[in-house]
Structure 1
Amino acid sequence: MPQMTQVLRADARDNRDRVLAAARSLFAERGLDVTMRQVARAAAVGPATLYRRFPTKQDLVDAAFADEVRACRAIVEQGCADPDPWRGFCSVVERVSVLNVRNQGFVDAFASAHPDVGPFTAHRAAAVRLLAGLADRAKAAGRLRADFVVDDLVLVLLANRGLASAPPDVREAAARRFAALALDGFSAPGVSPLPRAPRLVGRDARTPTGLGPGPRT
């Protein structure tokens, strides 16, 4: 009996690993529109097995993006720790752009205006608060344009997602170039005022300063 139990546990781990590998691949390629049935088919497991391991799609998203979440959070925290807020801000924009160019689903999850409740949502809200504070400090230093809002960075990430269709050997270089162009637009002084920002960060992730669209002057 102990040997049979070990075999069953090994099978369960193998199924879980195959489901996560399939989910990461499909989410990265197609975004979050991938269905649970498509994941089960790609992992060669039955729907019942999939739902037993991951009762909801949000559970699967959280597990599939766990490593990406940790990497993204580390980038934001390291940027915020830089004594030069503009340099830290630039680092975050470039490194997150490179991180996300290969993963459409991660950008979809980060930019979603109405995410499901889950660990990923908590990560996103925390990252947005940190970025808002970093942006405020970069503005106070006179390096970031005064009318920047975090929704503008979400716009960059959404546009950056299109680079996933570029050949794999040029994606990282393209992401760095795109980030540099975006940062040039973010830098102060903003010569021309921007139109009102669309709401791309959900209310749940907002903090009192630096996040609302706000009036444009």
Structure 2
Amino acid sequence: MTAPVVHELRSDARDNQERILEVARAAFASEGFDVPIREIARRAQVGVATVYRRFPTKEALLAAAFAERMAACLTIVEEGLAAADPWQGFRLVIERLMEVHALDRGFARALTSKFPRVFDFAEGRGRALRGLAELLSRAKEAGGIRKDVVLEDVVLALMANEGIRADSPQARVAASRRFAALMIQSFRADPAPVPLPSPVRPSLPISQ
């Protein structure tokens, strides 16, 4: 087999893999994790065997689909831990994690779901939670966060953020920023009022 042909085959394989991952991310975000592999293959215009050859289980597909998002979240938590002021580090982490989740609802669902059992994803999620717990403890000790706040409260806020619905990704991010500001304010030991970001009308109308 000539080198150009081998290169073309490898390029096709890469294109197929990227298309599978793109379709999987969109499907998981809009329909949850019950979307069959066969349906993902159909939308990606590849055979089912092609999907399984690259991702032997749905868990493996999920981990690969959200690997970059997971790495970004771990980096955010590490930057928060490196901040000189634990409270400011905590605030930065909440703001940025909620923004990441607002931009990718599939990833937000994956983080708060019991579905992902593949080691790489579960281990990354565990590292992020341990880092967040450490940052929360430091901020408490420094007097920035009220003493009765626990990690589960932070996770609950992240889960609530996943439920934001808006007409565009930009609107979701804007709504997420306001929600993050509200949550951060509620966690503060000294909740002096601070200006909130501009409100965003949700996609579902509020009853009058």
Q: How does 1:1-217 map to 2 (within 5 A)?
A: 1-2=1-2, 3-113=4-114, 115-163=116-164, 165-168=165-168, 169-188=170-189
Task: Give yes or no for contact 1:29–1:103 (8 Å, CA) kept in 2.
Answer: no
TM-score in terms of structure 1 length: 0.81
Which 10-residue stretch deviates more, 26-35 or 94-103?
26-35
Q: How many residues align?
A: 189
Task: Give yes or no for contact 2:29–2:109 (8 Å, CA) kept in 1.
Answer: no
- In structure 2, runs of 5+ residues without a counterpart are 192-208
Task: Give yes or no for contact 1:76–1:130 (8 Å, CA) kept in 2.
Answer: yes
Task: Specify the SS of the correspondent of 2:39.
Answer: helix
Which 10-residue stretch deviates more, 154-163 or 85-94?
154-163
* Corresponding residue of 2:195: none
Task: Specify the SS of the correspondent of 2:103.
Answer: coil
Task: Specify the SS of the correspondent of 2:148.
Answer: coil
Task: Give yes or no for contact 1:109–1:115 (8 Å, CA) kept in 2.
Answer: yes
What amino acid sits opposite 1:27 in the alignment?
F
* Corresponding residue of 1:193: none
* Corresponding residue of 1:203: none
Root mean square deviation of aligned Cα: 1.8
* Corresponding residue of 1:205: none
Q: Residues 114-138 of structure 1: CA distance to partner in whole angstroms, max 9, x if unpaired?
A: 6403211111111111111110011
Distance 1:144 1:35 in 2: 43
Q: How big is the shift at 1:103?
A: 1.6
- In structure 1, runs of 5+ residues without a counterpart are 191-217
Task: Give yes or no for contact 2:25–2:65 (8 Å, CA) kept in 1.
Answer: yes
Distance 1:154 1:16 in 2: 32
Q: How big is the shift at 1:188?
A: 1.6
Distance 2:60 2:189 in 1: 41
Q: Residues 4-35 of structure 1: CA distance to partner in whole angstroms, max 9, x if unpaired?
A: 43333232222112111111222233333333
Q: Residues 145-203 of structure 1: CA distance to partner in whole angstroms, max 9, x if unpaired?
A: 2122222122111111122x20113111110100011111111269xxxxxxxxxxxxx
Identical pairs, percent: 49
Q: How big is the shift at 1:113?
A: 4.2
Which 10-residue stretch deviates more, 110-119 or 145-154?
110-119
* Corresponding residue of 2:202: none
